[in-house]
Amino acid sequence: MIKRHLPFATVAVIALVAAPLLLEPFRLGLLAKYLCYAIVALGIGLAWGQGGMLTLGQGVFFGLGGYSMAMYLKLNEAGPGGLPDFMVWSGVEKLPALWAPFASPVFAVGMAVLGPVLLAVLLGTLVFRQRVRGAYFAILTQALAAAMVILLVGQQGLTGGTNGMTNFFELFGQDLADDSTQRGLYLVVASVLGILYLATRQLVHSRYGRLLVAVRDGEDRVRFLGYDPALVKTVTFAASAGMAGLAGALFVPVVGIISPALLGVVPSLELVVAVAVGGRHALAGAVLGAVVMGYAKTAFSEQFADGWLYLQGALFILVMTLAPKGIVGVVGRLRRARTT
């Protein structure tokens, strides 16, 4: 048991202790951003890797969480009776009623998680009850992401339109530009990821996790045994949506912006690709893939500004060709080869 948990414990210690000491503030902020994406990837690993639900619209839930936090930050900076800067520029004269509750940090953080969960429950109930699955479900979630972007862009006075929301200066009385605040945010993100990983891992190894895998491998057989596959899949889909929403709420103070460009079809697909690169059938693979692809995107864009997208695509093709089970699959093969 100790040996099995030793790799996770080692990585956790390095992430929590060594990284803030060894990395400069800018690089630590980048790592915190990768870990935010890793939280989303963890949810995708649960839904897709364990439940067989290829979701191509996690950006929607990520965006709901991000915009919830951004709305609180903007109202906090505007002060009582004030308006966010982009509303002033857009000619809005009165705070929209939708915004008023987000002046409370408790409400904002709660909605960052509860909003995506409720949307996922509604969508899952409507879709899974009709036995929609496979490519049809994937296309539906992708269409939802596209529709979300169109909605946000079209509501300039309500959401900031194409530019989204930025220029956040303070979080719970702490200056976001201060290095100590950013270190604190990193520790929060890393801790949240660790807790969610352990909780998700426990879920996967529980009776419910075995039922989820059974639904993935033979949904009709599970139904004939008296279980409700639609309920199992809806709960899992909602859990993955809640993780994405929480990741979005953490992302906003870490990165300092939320916009439609960060939650559309392309970002959602990039997260799925990251999970595939890491290994979708292992939760650790989903987390690892998100960090590796995030780092690769940064490194390639810094060194090869004109062709980094091609290099990122080549990395994906290389991994999928040589290691269909992802990086975790390669590690597993090496471990088995060493023991034989």
**In degrees rounded to 5, what are phi and psi of residue 177?**
-80, -10
Domain that holds residue 36: 2-260
CA dist., res. 75 & res. 156, Å (int): 17
CA dist., res. 172 & res. 73, Å (int): 9
Q: In this structure, is residue 256 part of a structural domain?
A: yes
CA dist., res. 48 & res. 214, Å (int): 13
The pTM score is 0.91
Q: In this structure, is residue 297 part of a structural domain?
A: no
Q: In this structure, is residue 282 part of a structural domain?
A: no
Reading the block at residue 279, the tokens are: 């290994």
Q: In this structure, is residue 131 part of a structural domain?
A: yes
CA dist., res. 169 & res. 73, Å (int): 8
- Please check whether residue 69 is in contact with residue 249, taking contact to mean a CB–CB distance below 8 angstroms: yes
Q: Name 171's bridge partners.
A: 174
- Please check whether residue 56 is in contact with residue 136, taking contact to mean a CB–CB distance below 8 angstroms: no
Q: What is the pLDDT of residue 36?
A: 95
Q: In this structure, is residue 309 part of a structural domain?
A: no
Q: How many CB atoms lie within 10 A of CB 250?
A: 25
**In 3-state terms, what secondary structure has residue 211?**
helix
Q: What is the pLDDT of residue 2?
A: 44
Q: What is the pLDDT of residue 211?
A: 94
pLDDT, averaged per 10 consecutive residues of the chain (340 residues), comes to 55 73 87 94 94 91 94 88 84 86 92 96 92 88 91 87 87 84 91 92 93 91 90 95 96 92 87 88 89 85 72 72 76 73
Q: In this structure, is residue 270 part of a structural domain?
A: no
Concatenating the DSSP letter of every residue in 235-287 gives HHHHHHHHHHHHHHHHHHHHHSEE-GGGSSHHHHHHHHHHHHHH-TTSHHHHH
Q: Which residue has the tokens 């982009």?
A: 86
201 half-sphere exposure, CB direction, 13 A CA radius: 15
Q: What is the pLDDT of residue 306?
A: 66
Q: What is the pLDDT of residue 1?
A: 43
Q: In this structure, is residue 266 part of a structural domain?
A: no
Q: In this structure, is residue 288 part of a structural domain?
A: no
DSSP state, residue 62: H
Domains of the chain: total: 1
